[in-house]
């Protein structure tokens, strides 16, 4: 009993502090850097310690590639004056950032970062589902809820209250408009979002997120992994769009709309409260990335990797994967060496090592099967989950810096006239395809 | 007669936004990876993808190479005995269009030298870096070939560069003082 409590506390600490808050803070820097690169700029790289702004000392100072801007920004947020405007509702104005942050953090409770830890041996069924022979421990998600799926949407839609309350309590017309826009936008996107993922539930037949990920390890036509994006491509697009809209980031940042209503519901916030509002947006980016990875990108599933090792459909898949990693990694290393960039060298090196692993396995495999120790499988799965989350975060930032803001009526039209019918059609087609499979 | 603007109605694919957003994304992703591959220093590389990327110089670390005749901060050249080469002829201060050179002449103790500048002050904030002073100098005493920027000043008084400061970067000049007399 005590051990279970300790494990849960450790999980909460690691996932919330280690993943959500740290990565969320890191994203404030990443977004600045990534937007800079998209726009052919250099991005933040000037903050330094143990140096001087001018002269030769600047060259020797520690800059960490601009990462110190994080510390500078955080310190600035902490030290700024916290202003509560005249006529504002003091209690709600102070509570609103917490109300925004809370649901975003709670959502992380049900994300499975890897399969349950199987203490004893496991066996593989014919359909590639692995069964744990002894008891399994839930080590990689805070709570393994059977209604995990519903919990996500129940919690995710709560965060709009924070925005609405922040807008109302600020005693500012622009803030109020921001809050109103946030609420109405939420209403028009909740419905298609819920409908778009119903297809996933129909196909995999469960609401438990870990079970959904497990089911995505099946193979379609014996080759393609049954990831959500392959069985529900339309659902994926609608869900991603609706989630970005839910997070109130461009192209759906009408509630902030800085060219129209100053900064929306954040207008009257300053100091750490403003920082929390911003931070929760970035944490929500990570949450969206992880929930999309879990539902549509196969979560912790590595293609063709099962509990006891790789089971490739064909023995030629190992050298194919190795070649793929070698080409991409070699390209990265070539760029890194020529331009003297450490990051590219490291990333390319990692990919080449992965390619080497696949190359070694292609010699030791037996007819496409390569057994691996269970610990290695779990590590690979964790790494894959993180890689997918990082990719989705990157994609969201790319979309945010590519697409201009929708006008207000365009958002409503997109939500009600395009996405809602599309989600319904998607649901109908899914049902029609599934009926013969089940009867 | 008002001008009639014909608007092309959007096709179904355009109205679904998806292909258009993917098109836009491909552009931004291209730019992202070019910039992520590092800095492009305008030097032609062998591989095509190395010729893309950011062209910004991170100034204090990466300094652009200047042409040899770049006019930078002034310096005063030296004689063989280490004294200033300038004979206080006032040519430079006369020709200076910005009127930024101020010389006070004094009699030299050396019998072979008539005058020397007791004070030689250049107001670097007024200087327009035209290089006329260098052209005008008959003794090769003043040069602007240091290749240095004049640093920004927090106090205007620091912008008055005196004789000794200008001589710090000076070297021995091989030109014959006053021209070849033979």
**pLDDT tier, A23 (very low <50, low <70, confident <90, very high otherwise):** confident
- The helix-helix angle for A271-296 and A374-400 (nearest 10°) equals 120
User: Is the Cβ pair A341, B61 closer than 8 Å?
Assistant: no
- Give this prediction's pTM: 0.81
pLDDT at A313 over 90: no
Parallel, antiparallel or unpaired: strands A117-118 and A130-132 = unpaired
* Contact criterion met (CB below 8 Å) for A218 and A204: no
| CA dist., res. A343 & res. A66, Å (int) | 13
Which residues share a beta bridge with A394?
none
User: Is the Cβ pair A59, B61 closer than 8 Å?
Assistant: yes
User: Which residues have CB under 8 Å from B99's CB, separation 6+?
Assistant: B93, B126
| CA dist., res. A99 & res. A250, Å (int) | 22
* Contact criterion met (CB below 8 Å) for B105 and B90: yes
pLDDT digits (tens, 9 = 90+) for A353-374: 888 888 888 777 777 777 777 7
Which residues share a beta bridge with B107?
B115
Residue B121, pLDDT score: 92
Select the more confidently predicted residue: B174 or A40: A40
| CA dist., res. A108 & res. A17, Å (int) | 11
pLDDT at A50 over 80: no
Residue B182, pLDDT score: 56
- Neighboring chain A residues of B28 at a CB cutoff of 8 Å: 38, 398, 401-402
pLDDT digits (tens, 9 = 90+) for B99-132: 999 999 998 888 878 888 999 999 988 999 998 9
Closest CA to A358 of A398, A327, A335: A327
User: Is the Cβ pair B18, A45 closer than 8 Å?
Assistant: no
CB neighbours of residue A31 within 10 Å: 20
For chain B, what percent of residues have pLDDT higher than 70?
Answer: 87
**pLDDT tier, B70 (very low <50, low <70, confident <90, very high otherwise):** confident
Looking at chain B, how many residues does it have? 182
User: Is the Cβ pair A40, B21 closer than 8 Å?
Assistant: no
Provide the number of CB pairs (under 8 Å) joining chain A to chain B.
Answer: 69
User: Is the Cβ pair B38, A403 closer than 8 Å?
Assistant: no
pLDDT at B45 over 70: no
Q: Which two tokens stand for residue B92?
A: 């430079």
| Residue corresponding to tokens 């599934």 | A434
A414: contact with B, CB 8 A cutoff: yes
User: Is the Cβ pair A402, B25 closer than 8 Å?
Assistant: yes
- Residue in A closest to B54 by C-alpha: A40
pLDDT at A263 over 60: yes
| Mean pLDDT, residues A8-13 taken together | 83
| CA dist., res. A2 & res. A113, Å (int) | 23
Q: Residue A388 is inside which H or E element, if any?
A: helix A374-400
Instruction: Round the CA-based radius of gyration of chain B to a whole number and report it.
Output: 29
Residue A425, pLDDT score: 92
Phi-psi region of B162 (alpha: psi -120 to 50; beta: other; left: phi over 0): beta
Choose among A54, A237, A338: nearest Cβ to B45.
A338
Phi-psi region of A207 (alpha: psi -120 to 50; beta: other; left: phi over 0): alpha
* Contact criterion met (CB below 8 Å) for B111 and B123: no
| Mean pLDDT, residues B84-107 taken together | 90
Q: What angle do CA A317, A236, A434 make, to 5 degrees?
A: 80
Summary mean pLDDT of chain A? 83
SS3 per residue for B110-169:
CCCCCEEEEEEEEECCCCCCCCHHHHHCCCCCEECCCCCCCCCCCCHHHHEECHHHHHHC
Tell me which of A25-39, A119-133, B95-109 is least confident: A119-133
Distance from CA of A419 to the nearest CA of B (A): 9
A398: contact with B, CB 8 A cutoff: yes
User: Is the Cβ pair B151, A54 closer than 8 Å?
Assistant: yes
Choose among B50, B56, B61: nearest Cβ to A41.
B56
* Contact criterion met (CB below 8 Å) for A148 and A208: yes
Choose among A341, A398, A403: nearest Cβ to B32.
A398
DSSP-assigned letters across all residues of A18-52: IIIIHHHHHHHHHHHHHHHHHTT---S----BSS-
Question: What is the residue extent of each domain of chain A?
Answer: 89-302+404-438
Residue B168, pLDDT score: 84
Which of B10, B11, B22, B32 to mutate against chain A (most A CBs within 10 Å)?
B32
pLDDT at A398 over 80: yes
User: Is the Cβ pair A402, B28 closer than 8 Å?
Assistant: yes
pLDDT at A74 over 90: no
| CA dist., res. A66 & res. B58, Å (int) | 12
Tell me which of A58-67, A209-218, A305-314, A371-380 is least confident: A58-67
Choose among B32, B56, B151: nearest Cβ to A34.
B32
- Neighboring chain A residues of B151 at a CB cutoff of 8 Å: 54
What was the ipTM of the complex prediction? 0.78
User: Which residues have CB under 8 Å from A150's CB, separation 6+?
Assistant: A207
| Residue corresponding to tokens 């209250």 | A161
Phi-psi region of A52 (alpha: psi -120 to 50; beta: other; left: phi over 0): beta
Distance from CA of A237 to the nearest CA of B (A): 8
| CA dist., res. A20 & res. A288, Å (int) | 12
A37: contact with B, CB 8 A cutoff: yes
- Neighboring chain A residues of B31 at a CB cutoff of 8 Å: 37-40
| CA dist., res. A100 & res. A98, Å (int) | 5
Which residues share a beta bridge with B163?
none
Choose among A38, A59, A418: nearest Cβ to B16.
A418
| Mean pLDDT, residues A191-202 taken together | 86
| CA dist., res. B172 & res. B84, Å (int) | 10
Tell me, rounded to whole angstroms, the distance of Cα B78 from its chain centroid: 23
- Residue in B closest to A241 by C-alpha: B18
| CA dist., res. A244 & res. A151, Å (int) | 18
| CA dist., res. A128 & res. A304, Å (int) | 9
């Amino acid at each position: 009993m005590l051990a279970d409590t300790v494990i849960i506390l450790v999980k909460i600490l690691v996932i919330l502090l280690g993943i959500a808050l740290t990565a969320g803070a890191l994203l404030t820097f990443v977004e600045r850097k990534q937007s800079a690169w998209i726009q052919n700029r250099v991005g933040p790289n000037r903050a330094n310690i143990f140096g001087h702004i001018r002269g030769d000392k600047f060259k020797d100072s520690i800059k960490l590639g601009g990462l110190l801007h994080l510390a500078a920004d955080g310190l600035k947020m902490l030290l700024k004056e916290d202003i509560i405007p005249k006529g504002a509702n003091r209690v709600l104005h102070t509570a609103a950032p917490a109300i925004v942050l809370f649901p975003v953090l709670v959502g992380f409770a049900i994300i499975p970062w890897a399969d349950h830890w199987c203490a004893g041996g496991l066996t593989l069924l014919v359909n590639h589902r692995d069964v744990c022979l002894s008891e399994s421990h839930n080590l990689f998600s805070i709570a393994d809820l059977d209604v995990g799926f519903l919990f996500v949407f129940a919690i995710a839609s709560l965060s709009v209250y924070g925005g609405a309350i922040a807008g109302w309590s600020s005693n500012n017309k622009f803030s109020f408009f921001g809050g109103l826009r946030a609420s109405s936008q939420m209403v028009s996107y909740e419905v298609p979002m819920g409908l778009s993922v119903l297809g996933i539930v129909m196909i995999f037949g469960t609401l438990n997120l870990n079970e959904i990920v497990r089911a995505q390890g099946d193979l379609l036509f014996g080759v393609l992994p049954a990831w959500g994006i392959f069985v529900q491509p339309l659902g994926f697009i609608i869900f991603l769009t609706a989630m970005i809209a839910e997070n109130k980031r461009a192209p759906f940042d009408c509630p902030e709309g800085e060219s129209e209503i100053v900064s929306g519901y954040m207008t009257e916030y300053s100091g750490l409260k403003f920082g929390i509002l911003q931070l929760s947006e970035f944490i929500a980016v990570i949450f969206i990335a992880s929930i999309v990875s879990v539902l549509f990108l196969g979560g912790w599933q590595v293609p063709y990797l099962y509990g006891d090792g790789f089971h490739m459909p064909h023995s030629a898949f190992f050298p194919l994967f190795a070649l793929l990693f070698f080409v991409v990694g070699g390209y990265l290393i070539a760029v890194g060496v020529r331009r003297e960039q450490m990051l590219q060298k490291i990333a390319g090196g990692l990919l080449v090592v992965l390619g080497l692993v696949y190359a070694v396995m292609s010699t030791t495999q037996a007819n496409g099967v390569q057994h691996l120790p269970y610990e290695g499988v779990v590590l690979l799965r964790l790494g894959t989950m993180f890689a997918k989350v990082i990719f989705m975060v990157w994609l969201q930032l790319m979309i945010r810096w590519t697409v201009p803001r929708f006008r207000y009526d365009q958002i409503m039209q997109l939500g009600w006239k395009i996405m809602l019918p599309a989600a319904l059609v998607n649901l109908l087609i899914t049902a029609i395809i599934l009926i013969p499979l089940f009867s | 007669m008002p001008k009639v603007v014909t608007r092309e109605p959007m096709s179904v694919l355009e109205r679904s936004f998806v292909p258009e957003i993917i098109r836009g994304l491909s552009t931004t992703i291209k730019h992202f990876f070019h910039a992520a591959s590092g800095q492009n220093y305008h030097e032609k590389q062998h591989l095509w993808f190395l010729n893309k990327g950011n062209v910004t110089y991170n100034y204090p670390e990466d300094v652009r190479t200047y042409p040899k005749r770049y006019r930078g901060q002034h310096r005063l050249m030296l004689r063989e005995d280490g004294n200033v080469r300038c004979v206080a002829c006032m040519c430079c201060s006369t020709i200076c269009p910005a009127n930024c050179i101020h010389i006070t002449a004094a009699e030299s103790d050396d019998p072979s030298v008539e005058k020397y500048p007791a004070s030689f002050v250049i107001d670097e904030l007024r200087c327009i870096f035209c290089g006329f002073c260098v052209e005008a100098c008959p003794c090769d005493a003043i040069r602007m070939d240091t290749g240095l920027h004049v640093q920004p000043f927090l106090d205007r008084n620091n912008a008055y560069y005196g004789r000794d400061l200008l001589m710090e970067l000076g070297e021995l000049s091989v030109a014959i003082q006053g021209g070849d007399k033979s």
